[in-house]
Amino acid sequence: MTPPESPVILSRTRAGVRTLTLNRPDKLNAANDALLLMLTAELQAADADTGVRVVVITGAGRGFCAGQDLGDVSGRDMTFTEHLNHTYNPLIRTIRGLSKPVITAINGVAAGAGASLALAGDIRLWAQSASLIEVFSNIALVPDSGSTWFLPRLVGYHRAFALMALADRVRADDALKYGLCEEVLADDSFADAVQAYAERLASRPAHALKLTKQALNAALTSTLDQALDLEAELQQLAGDHWEHEEGVTAFKAKRVPEFVRPEPA
């Protein structure tokens, strides 16, 4: 049992990697308002913290996130629309707008809005036993929290519709095949492997990655002309940054570039 005083989000920072752990394991980390608002606030705090270079979102126990806590919806004085606009939508927007890479580390089942959260990461790492279910139609709801935007872009309209209409469980090997995850990792060393991956990402040029995320996000809804214009604009910002000089200098000196510098006092 989780003690009642245990926070719904656990936060830990190691080697520039901030790991945020959804912590309602008895309910497979089903989301209540407190969890969603705290996760969003923790992401914003990580964005503002110069000691953080990469953020990992994962789940405690055997689940990643079972979506909305269905025990927490009756009797609330908000409409569905208000509920989404108050909690889930700010969370998904915060992840996509974060200036740092976000890894969603899918340690177990991701269902409903939990599936949307799993898909919202910049990098999605799955444990071998993880799975994803667009479970909404089981309770006659519409996929939300970004699933209708993410999934068809990854698997095409038809597979997305089938997965949403039938609520079939996607297991890790198929997720890799469908492009829902970047890597499938062994269950027994999952947390360590995620940390190692995140540390590798944290050693990359943070400013250039921030601009890359900005360009890719914009390109998902832009024309080629708009993408070319934005690339030209952002390349100037990247080229003027010390990271670029360090990369070129390291290349010429045949050494590994050092993109992590001590924080200014």
For β-strands 131-133 and 169-171, DSSP reports them as antiparallel
133 binds ligand LHQ (CB under 6 A): yes
Residue 73 as a binder of ligand LHQ (CB under 6 A): the answer is: yes
Decide whether 17 or 66 has the Cβ nearer to ligand LHQ: 66
125 binds ligand LHQ (CB under 6 A): no
Q: Which is nearer to ligand LHQ, 141 or 250 (CB)?
A: 141
Nearer to ligand LHQ by Cβ, of 167 and 237: the residue is 167
* Range in contact with ligand LHQ (rule: CB under 6 A) among 52-60, 76-84, 118-126, 214-222: 76-84
Closest CA to 230 of 215, 216, 244, 248: 215
Q: Which lies closer to ligand LHQ via its Cβ, residue 80 or residue 251?
A: 80
Dihedral sign (CA 217, 218, 224, 229): negative
| Interactions with ligand LHQ, residue window 24-63 (CB under 6 A) | 27-28, 30
Question: How far apart are the C-alpha atoms of 50 and 11, rounded to whole Å?
Answer: 16
Q: Which stretch binds ligand LHQ (CB under 6 A): 136-144, 174-182, 185-193, 234-242?
A: 136-144
Paired tokens of 67 = 């979506």
Nearer to ligand LHQ, 87 or 195 (CB): 87
For ligand LHQ, the binding residues (CB under 6 A) are: 27-28, 30, 66-71, 73, 80, 83-84, 88, 109, 111-113, 133, 135-136, 138-139, 141, 144
